[in-house]
A and B are shown apart, each in its own frame.
Chain A
Amino acid sequence: MEKKQLMENMVISIIQGDQVKAQETVKEALKVNIDPLEVVELGLSKGMASIGESFERGESFLPELLMAAETFNAAMEILKPEIEAQNKEITKAGTVLIGTVRGDVHNLGKNIVSMVLETNGFSVVDIGVDVPSLNFIEEAETVQADVIALSSLMSTTMPAQREIIEILEEKDLREKYFVVVGGGPVSKEWADEIGADGYGKTAVDAVHLVKRLLTQRG
């Protein structure tokens, strides 16, 4: 099968969440010596972008987004070793450190955002829930994050999002990181009030937001 058709099949398998088809298509593509990095770019990433757009239009729904991400990961199971064997490396668009703030154990939304960011070309370090404010900053320094993403699901824990920004300022690190916030009771108004760099309502919003911020920085 020619490359164009294979890549189309790749995209379709992501959109349809068909893990079997995805893995078969990857194997075929590798057999005819298509560059695995191209499979990622022209097949997997394109598929994720497509389902993301469909989700934003309200034509696809959360489980389909999650299925697509799992299919992406299933395809990567085969592609990753091949990429490494060829001494190549997937360029990540940036590193996002994500976690739920201290005193808050909600994780569903954060996990979805992590998965969607990861399958849209970012390196994601998820440091879990109930994370003390200082830990966010220490980890960001350790992994050299570009973006710090903070999740809060209660009015009582939202202040930690502000606290982290204040600590960054105190330590003269504010300019080093983009800080984005999200979670049920969080809003753009709150994000603006605390001086965050952005707010997103959905996981796909997060992708657009992070892309935009990192492009701005150049």
Chain B
Amino acid sequence: MLIVGELINASRKVIATAIEAREASTIQTVAETQKKAGADFIDVNAGIFVGQEAEYLKWLVTTVQEAVDAPCCIDSPDPKALEAALGVHRGTPMINSISLEKERYNALLPLVAGTDLKVVALCMSDQGMPQTTDERLAIADELVNGLVKKNVPIGNIYVDPLVQPISTNNTFGVEFLNAVEQLMTRFEGVHTICGLSNISYGLPERKLLNQVFAVMGIAKGLDGLIINPLDKRLMACIVAAETMVGKDNFCKNYIKEYRDKKFVFS
């Protein structure tokens, strides 16, 4: 399971303020606590600042990596901002994300072709938001094949089948979950990932819904998550779910997490 810590996102007021004021310590504290809580990648997003996104994204990457020895998940729909941030990143980052939207696809494909970069492949196209499993698979098919043809190793591809809020449509849970299952079956060696918290938008007790959905996703084969790693219960659910699907020999990880007091929530 690959965990991407999602908290350094400019849509969160505290982060936006820190970015504008160049408050490195705020950003670094959030990066450190996420890494400590088990994040493998630190997502950085400055997506509310039109015209300054590249500059801010660069600053975020540098600031995070000053404090934390971890790769970033560079999160932007803007190829120019991504490129700028790539230029200052130390080590191998994850690009979040490429999609089938023509402009984005054409700009990003050359950037990732033949490199070691991990890529989130988001199931979105110019045709609109996919509603069903099949629509997602059709996009994924084109995306994955396009990337592989340009020498992106399939093991570096993290397909995001797009999580949409269950509060807006009853079917959005199962359409996503079935897409994960199909993807993991059809494309051997591919990974799947998602921004989990979208599922609970508009409902109370969001953490409960996020935890349950993570477990359901893992049951279908989901092996990457963009989440708040400081949610202890969520992290514990993920551990337990992975044990349940047989990814934990002799339940070693479960027992280790138990001993590390990861299942104490007071």
Q: Footprint of B on A, CB under 8 Å?
A: 61-63, 66, 103, 105-108, 112, 129-130, 154-156, 158-159, 184-187, 190
| B168 lies within 8 A of A155 (CB) | no
Q: Which of B47, B124, B203 contacts A61 (CB 8 A)?
A: B203
Can you sample 10 A-B contacts with CB below 8 Å?
A61-B202, A62-B167, A63-B168, A105-B126, A105-B128, A108-B165, A154-B47, A155-B76, A185-B48, A186-B48
Query: Measured between alpha carbons, how far is A140 from B105 in the docked complex, in Å?
Result: 32
| B49 lies within 8 A of A155 (CB) | yes
Task: List the B side residues contacting A112 at CB < 8 Å.
Answer: 168
Instruction: Please report which residues of chain B, range 155-203, place their CB below 8 angstroms from some CB of chain A when the two chains form the complex.
Output: 164-165, 167-168, 201-203
| B50 lies within 8 A of A62 (CB) | no
| B164 lies within 8 A of A108 (CB) | yes
Sample of 12 more A-B contacts, CB < 8 Å, known A129-B128, A155-B53: A61-B167, A62-B165, A62-B167, A62-B201, A63-B202, A63-B203, A105-B127, A105-B128, A105-B129, A112-B168, A155-B47, A155-B50
Query: Measured between alpha carbons, how far is A186 from B126 in the docked complex, in Å?
Result: 21
Task: List the B side residues contacting A66 at CB < 8 Å.
Answer: 167-168
Interface string of B8-23 (1 = CB under 8 A from A): 0011000000000000
Query: Measured between alpha carbons, how far is A124 from B28 in the docked complex, in Å?
Result: 46
Q: Which of A105, A155, A184, A190 contacts B124 (CB 8 A)?
A: A105
Closest to A60 in B: B204
Task: List the B side residues contacting A129 at CB < 8 Å.
Answer: 128
A162 → B minimal CB distance (Å): 8
A155 → B minimal CB distance (Å): 4
Task: List the B side residues contacting A108 at CB < 8 Å.
Answer: 129, 164-165, 168
Q: Which of B10, B11, B76, B77 has the most CB of A within 10 A?
A: B77
B49 → A minimal CB distance (Å): 7
Closest to B80 in A: A156
Query: Measured between alpha carbons, how far is A128 from B129 in the docked complex, in Å?
Result: 12
- A62 and B128 in contact, given A154-B47, A159-B50 (Cβ under 8 angstroms): no
Closest to B102 in A: A103
Cβ of B66 under 8 Å from chain A: no
Task: List the A side residues contacting B126 at CB < 8 Å.
Answer: 105, 130
Closest to A58 in B: B204
Closest to B13 in A: A187
Closest to B46 in A: A155
A59 → B minimal CB distance (Å): 10
